[in-house]
Amino acid sequence: MPTQSQFTSRNVLNTHLGGIFWLGFWFYVVADWGRQQCQSTLVYVLPAPQLRIDPPSVTLYRGQSLRLRCLSSNNDHRYGPLGYSWSKNNQLFQSDPDTEFWEDLYPDGSILNIHNIQKSAEYSCIVSNMVAPVSKSVYITVIDKGVVELCPSDKLFGVQWPPSAPGPAVLADCPNHAAGQSRRICEQTDFAKPRWLQPDFSHCVPEHLGIIYNDFLEVTFGYQRSNTSVILQNTLEYAINRKDHFLPGEAAFLLRMLQEIHDYLDEVGSRCEREIASDTTLQILDIILKNEFSINNQQQVKHVQRLFLMAASNRESVATSGPKLAASTSNQLSSFRLHNTPVKALPFELQISGDQLFSDQLYLEINKGTTSLLDFVGNSSLSVTVISYRNLTSFLPHMYITRNRCVYASNNQQTIPMGFDMARVEMILQHNHSPTPEWVPVCGYDSSTNNQETWNTDMCLTENLLENITRCICPISGTYVVLLARQNYNRIGSLGENLR
């Protein structure tokens, strides 16, 4: 470049998504004709305040008083103190010594004194630093003495639950140094005597699992201190150690973490990494399904099924990336059966029975179908995978469901839906409950992409062979179930509507 000439270049380092992983010195190097100049800058990440309100949930009698404490545990004083304020029902209010009065604590925190409480309300502690404000809320339930009966104080799973009125979920700190808050509902029964429901720990992040998750985040930002195979192996060891000690819903964060790892590997992972991840994921899911408390709602059940689908699809897409499909394969862990068969020609038939389906039977038939389907078969890239669960329905109300099956056709991680004109699947399922004149067995269908807690009972044909044996004739791609429904049930609706 001539001596008198001038060249200007601008590069932007975008750090808004990096969080703490952008912390440190960044070097900028300019090279021109063999000469280099370096410049560095220090990127400091100021974390958001981590707030805690004590107590997290309160039930009071009208006219009582209360003191709320708002504390922050991670303030960096090099960048100034935190500012505290309070709001009531999302509205700022003036501090008044006679009714609602707050004062700051040293070095960080605030106390709100509330006198003569008359109405239920939500109070929020708002904390701000030089970056942005954050807030945390507590709902105060106010009742009249002698009018509403409370759920008594109770200690369960290491958490002390205070006397509480029926209504919104009661919050408490997660046990065993886990981050987040646990929840529990005091339910009003038909006999006017409330009762505690099972606690929910699905919003808790166990301390050790949080460390493993941070290792994964480091990998996604380019740090090479670990890799996904090591992270999944550490996750498997964590699951093995917790297999007999899961709290109700505790596996929720574990499922979300597995989902993020698989999404990451789908974008940047190698064939070997995806294969290892799929096998390890299946082992982790097997452990989760062995514990009756690990998951505690139907959305988590659906999440488990999606992860099974992803892991099975990844295993088969890796297997089909060679010159041709291998022979039929099976994966049999104690909580599920996974059977894969290549589709080498159309029409195609498959029959599975015995221990491969926990004593049930399955018959699958695929006709010639469309040109695209024939192309998949011609390229040796189509396979049929059947997942059979031993006890998945034990995580759902027993009065609704007795058996559960998932059947789908996979092609390089994609599910191929097929109608009755292209394929059909017959399943002969055994169930624990026998039909009665009022209750009849019905086959239900649920798409793997459906996040609603509903079953479509119009999709399949139902044949009751014996008292405890039902045949379902359905199109493939989805999850199938046998329901007991009233004679005059709503054909498409929630499980509760079907079985009332």
Same CATH fold assignment for domains 21-148 and 329-486? no
Mean pLDDT, to the nearest integer, of 49-69? 92
Tokens (6 digits) for 155:
């200690």
Q: Are 199 and 178 in contact (CB under 8 A)?
A: no
Classify 309 as helix, strand or coil: helix
Q: Which residue has the higher pLDDT, 80 or 461?
A: 461
Q: Which residue has the higher pLDDT, 437 or 43?
A: 437
pLDDT at 302: 87
Mean pLDDT, to the nearest integer, of 238-248? 95
Classify 450 as helix, strand or coil: coil
The answer to which of 218-227, 230-239, 297-306, 426-435 has the lowest mean pLDDT is: 426-435
Model confidence over 318-357: pLDDT tens digits?
Answer: 444 443 434 555 566 788 888 888 877 777 888 887 777 7
- pLDDT, averaged across the chain: 79
The answer to which of 164-173, 228-237, 280-289, 394-403 has the lowest mean pLDDT is: 394-403
């405890």: which residue's tokens? 468
Residue 387 one-letter amino acid: I
Give CA–CA dist 458/137, Å, rounded. Answer: 45
Could you tell me the residue ranges of all domains in the chain? 21-148, 207-317, 329-486
The answer to which of 8-22, 369-383, 466-480 has the lowest mean pLDDT is: 8-22
> What is the CA angle 230-235-240, rounded to 5?
125
Q: Which residue has the higher pLDDT, 120 or 107?
A: 120
| pLDDT winner (highest mean) among 247-251, 304-308, 475-479 | 247-251
With 60 as the cut, is the pLDDT of residue 483 above it?
A: yes
Mean pLDDT, to the nearest integer, of 381-403? 69
Q: Are 212 and 238 in contact (CB under 8 A)?
A: yes
pLDDT at 288: 95
Fold of 21-148: Immunoglobulin-like (2.60.40)
Q: Are 357 and 388 in contact (CB under 8 A)?
A: yes
Other residues' Cβ atoms within 10 Å of the Cβ of residue 371: 7
Give CA–CA dist 175/194, Å, rounded. Answer: 25
Three-state SS annotation for 79-139 = HCCCEEEEEECCEECCCCCCCEEEEECCCCCEEEEECCCCCCEEEEEEEECCCCEEEEEEE
With 90 as the cut, is the pLDDT of residue 161 above it?
A: yes
């639950």: which residue's tokens? 161
Q: Are 381 and 373 in contact (CB under 8 A)?
A: no
Q: Is 257 exposed, middle or buried (0-12, 13-18, 19+ CB in 10 A)?
A: buried
Model confidence over 213-238: pLDDT tens digits?
Answer: 999 998 998 888 889 999 999 999 99
Residues of the chain with pLDDT > 70, as a percent, come to: 75
| Model confidence band, residue 19 (pLDDT cutoffs 50, 70, 90) | low
Architecture of domain 329-486: Sandwich (2.60)
Largest CA distance in the chain: 98
Give CA–CA dist 109/103, Å, rounded. Answer: 9
With 80 as the cut, is the pLDDT of residue 249 above it?
A: yes
